[in-house]
Copies of this chain bind each other. A is one copy, B any other.
Amino acid sequence: MPNQQRYGAGIWHFATYVDRYATDGYGDPRSILDAIDLAGQVRDLSVVDLNYPFFGGEFSNEQVGEALERNGLSVIGITPEIYTRTFAKGSFTNPDAGVRRLAHELITEAAGVVRHFGADYVKLWPGQDGWDYPFQVDHHSLWKASLDGVAELASDNPDLKFVIEYKPREPRVHMSFDSVSRTLLGIERIGLPNVGILLDFGHSLFGGESPADAAQLAIDYGRLFGMDVNDNLRGWDDDLVAGTIHPIELFEFFYTLDKNDWHGVWQLDQFPFREDSVEAANTAIDFLKLIQRALGKLDVDGIREAQSNHDALTALKLAQKALFSSY
């Protein structure tokens, strides 16, 4: 474990939200500059992932850069918004070739922003790519289009990393990149070194995975390029505050990263619809620090010995001992 763990967040953590019911939003609209200023108030935040185009107005990279600088933040990734109205029927898989082209162009622009900020990656979250109904799509063509779209980008921009954030569903009833395994299968098929996975802890739980197992698998393929955390009740992508529902699985997830010497940024992807967003981030990061302390205490040899016997009770007792004494 590094002495100084870095923390990050998607900048949308500090936006306000709408949904299909509260169409007037859960608060006054905020621009990306407002959101950056809020992010700056979080006690231990170092990096942010920025939506692109920048929301809430017409802002230049320079304006955004100034806001970041005054808040001591740098950029880890750029998330092109390939899931808004234009892309309602898909980005890479849109039935309209013109819209697929628009997606390509928007992501290419986002790649430029990554270069501008010296960020780590372009994040691809094709949330509208998939289907809603049986019989709606030709599954062979849909999956091919998903991979072709990503491959073209990765091939055009060999200097950059592209990370795919999979999720089982929402807004589509079924998303094409739905799981760690499906995404790795696609990445292996694409066969380029600069495509990887951004593993969202909550998406993994929601998809019935063990996030620790998903992380291990992505690491074993050399494709774990980023991660973020939050929590949920396993039936939906609730984007609750990390650690509030599944502290033990969160601990196992970080234990797995640590064991594999994976030392990237620990990011938040939370949607505090009804909470103060700065407090929501502080609460999560405080819990992540608790987990760091617990990792420091954990009897790793004991865990390994227990795991070699698939001895759940011993392993859990060791995990409990470290975790429930680390406040």
Contact = CB atoms under 8 A, between A and B. Distances in A.
A54 interface: no
B313 A276 contact: yes
Contact of A248 (B88, B244, B290): B244
Contacts of A264: none
B20 A19 contact: yes
A325 to B, nearest CB: 4
Contact of A245 (B246, B290, B327): B246
Contacts of A84: 21-24
Interface residues of A, number: 104
A262 interface: no
A223 B312 CA distance: 35
Given A18-B23, A188-B188, A210-B174, A274 B313 contact: no
Contacts of A24: 84-85
A212 B173 contact: no
B88 A143 contact: no
A30 B289 CA distance: 47
Nearest to A176: B213
Nearest to A90: B310
A255 B19 CA distance: 33
A153 to B, nearest CB: 20
A113 B234 CA distance: 41
A320 interface: yes
A93 to B, nearest CB: 8
Interface stretch (A32-40, A68-76, A132-140, A156-164): A132-140
Contacts of A235: 208, 234-236
A92 B283 CA distance: 29
Nearest to A256: B139
B138 A304 contact: yes
B320 A134 contact: no
A318 B248 CA distance: 18
Given A27-B85, A235-B234, A276-B313, A247 B247 contact: yes
A315 interface: yes
A323 interface: yes
Nearest to A253: B134
A310 B236 CA distance: 22
Top 5 A-B residue pairs of the complex, sorted by shortest distance between their CB atoms: A181-B181, A325-B327, A181-B182, A324-B327, A136-B312
28 contacts: A18-B19, A22-B83, A22-B85, A22-B171, A23-B84, A24-B85, A27-B85, A132-B273, A134-B249, A134-B252, A135-B252, A135-B307, A135-B319, A138-B304, A139-B216, A141-B307, A143-B217, A170-B236, A185-B185, A208-B235, A236-B236, A243-B320, A245-B249, A246-B246, A247-B324, A280-B313, A290-B320, A324-B327
